[in-house]
Amino acid sequence: MEAYLATIKSKTGKTPDDFKVLAQEKGLTQRAQIMDWLKADFDLGHGHANLITHLIMGADAPKVSADEALDAHFSGAKAVWRPAFDDLLDQISAFGADVTLGSGKTYINLLRKGKKFGIVQVTAKRFDIGIKDKAAPVEGRFEASGSWNEMVTHRVKVDNPAQIDDEIIGRLRLAYDKA
């Protein structure tokens, strides 16, 4: 996140607080409005605009701990996926001591030294894994991520924890190595 903010500051000369003031002055309150404004007026890419939008919209929200943010992904009917996620986390943590998580409201980011190499999205019926690897072919269970998430290149849909197998772990390992 800090690298994104440094790039944004370098490109625009503005901090997240500056953008918040400007958005308030323009009366922008909806996510799509703010995203469009940042892309059009400041030539920010999707990821950079998304970060600033997130900071603008969540600036007044109460702070949530990392554990609380992660737990929220497995609340209610999604709780059935927590053991599968914990097993996945154990496996990818073996890649190196630099594996960390970042929990947003929709996705759990899989990070190496703060750089995303994969994501996880949990629903009541499915556990989706996104992998960031531009060089990897789109084949087999791995489809192009498309509009599901533009920050990763591939997506695999898992509807049974047993499907989180050596193929998925191997593809995550390749993405980790490239991060």
The answer on 170 and 95 residing in a single domain is yes
The answer on 53 and 70 residing in a single domain is no
pLDDT tier at 61, thresholds 50, 70, 90: low
Q: What whole-number distance in Å separates Cα of residue 160 and Cα of residue 94? A: 23
End-to-end CA gap in the chain: 15
The answer on 75 and 23 residing in a single domain is no
Nearest to 161 by CA among 119, 122, 108, 107: 122
The answer on 36 and 10 residing in a single domain is yes
Strands (E) located in the chain: 99-103, 108-112, 115-122, 127-131, 143-144, 154-158
pLDDT in tens, 104-143: 888 999 999 989 999 999 999 999 999 999 999 899 899 9
Is 90 exceeded by the pLDDT of residue 145? yes
Nearest to 177 by CA among 85, 86, 98, 87: 98
Structure token digits, residue 16 = 């997240």
The answer on 152 and 78 residing in a single domain is yes
Longest dimension (CA), the chain: 52
DSSP state of 120: E
Domain tally, the chain? 2
The answer on 42 and 73 residing in a single domain is no
| Per-residue pLDDT at 29 | 86
The answer on 127 and 146 residing in a single domain is yes
Looking at the DSSP assignment, which residues form a beta bridge with residue 128?
121, 157
In the listed set 58, 87, 102, which residue is the last one of a domain according to the structure? 58
The answer on 75 and 54 residing in a single domain is no
Domain coverage including residue 101 = 66-178
The answer on 33 and 103 residing in a single domain is no
The answer on 94 and 135 residing in a single domain is yes
In the listed set 39, 58, 77, which residue is the last one of a domain according to the structure? 58
pLDDT in tens, 11-33: 999 999 999 999 999 999 898 99
pLDDT tier at 65, thresholds 50, 70, 90: confident
C-alpha 108, offset from chain centre: 6
In the listed set 58, 79, 106, which residue is the last one of a domain according to the structure? 58
Structure token digits, residue 170 = 């191997």
The answer on 128 and 87 residing in a single domain is yes
The answer on 98 and 75 residing in a single domain is yes
User: How many C-alpha atoms does 35 have within 13 Å on its Cβ side?
Assistant: 9
